[in-house]
Amino acid sequence: MTRRAMTKTLSGARMYARLAAVLAWTMALLPVQLVLIRRPGRAKRALPLRYWGGVARILGLELQVIGTPAATDERPVLFVSNHTSWLDIVALGAVLPGCFIAKADVGRWPGISAVARAGRTIFVSRARTGAGRERAELAERLAAGDSLILFPEGTTSDGARVLPFRSSFLALAETDPPPLIQPVTIVYDRMDSLPVCRRNRPRIAWYGDMDIASHYAELGRHDWRATIVLDDPIELDGGRKALTATLERQIAARAAAIRQGRFPGPFTKA
């Protein structure tokens, strides 16, 4: 067996071992969370952070965090982030104390839907027919004290740029009382301890018609680092469209800086 073939075989074995470990970790914590979500208290919000942190370690995903999540004790927070890959759920889920807003399709994915529901994910169809009902549900979750994680691009990008933000997604910022809004930027900047170059971004980015199984088969063979920037929270000022433009501009600038190896402050590991 050649050295290249041996390396490929070993990386493939690591990929399957990681998948088995994630399944075992999920089976250990999922029953606990299913009990907690039926009870009052903060435990049902804390356990997902631990779960996703464990998944990140199993998958060889290092998290490098700049900044601190806004405090959610007295006022819910709307975490607004760019979106590159399904792995964003793992990375951000390990850092942000909030519930994800996901496409309704995710709620029909075998296995993954159970984990998402246990994490109290909110599924939205983004169809006009149910828009009013879904906005009401999101507003109710904010009113109940839940912080939410929103991807206003509406889809994943190729990792080389941030797509335009949709102002309709920021309608939540106009609820009464309004939540705090924290800009979040995530970029995968290391693969197997080396800088991620443009030709390697499709290995981590999940977009277009890629299926999740084949994408994981490639992604799971490598170790990754995600750099996450948590900027200071902001308030709604000047209307939803002005807020959308501000967030898009700020997050796109942060993402470009990270891809170029420029960082805005000291690092702390999650």
Opening angle at CA 250, ends 173 and 229, nearest 5: 90
Contact 231, 183 (CB under 8 A): yes
In this prediction, residue 267 has a pLDDT band, given cuts at 50, 70 and 90, of very low
Q: Indicate the SS3 state at residue 207.
A: coil
Cis (ω within 30 of 0) for the bond into 177? yes
Q: What is the mean pLDDT of the chain?
A: 85
CA pseudo-torsion sign 69, 82, 228, 226:
positive
The confidence band for 110, taking pLDDT boundaries of 50, 70 and 90, is: low
How confident is the model at residue 268, as a pLDDT? 44
Whole-angstrom distance, CA of residue 78 vs CA of residue 62: 24
**What does pTM read for this prediction?**
0.88
The domain limits of the chain are 3-269
What is the pLDDT, as a whole number, of residue 270? 43
Phi, psi of 37, deg, nearest 5: -70, -10
CA distances, 223 to each of 182, 195, 212 (Å) = 28, 12, 18
Q: Quote the tokens at residue 70.
A: 């806004």
Rounded distance between C-alpha atoms, residue 62 and residue 104, angstroms: 29
Residue 12 Cα distances to 18, 121, 220, angstroms: 10, 31, 8
Q: How many helices (H) and strands (E) does the chain have?
A: 8, 9
Does an H or E element contain 141, and which?
Answer: helix 131-143
- Residues 113 and 7: their CA atoms lie apart, in Å, by 34
Supply the pLDDT for residue 122: 85
DSSP 234: B
Percent of the chain scoring above 90 in pLDDT: 44
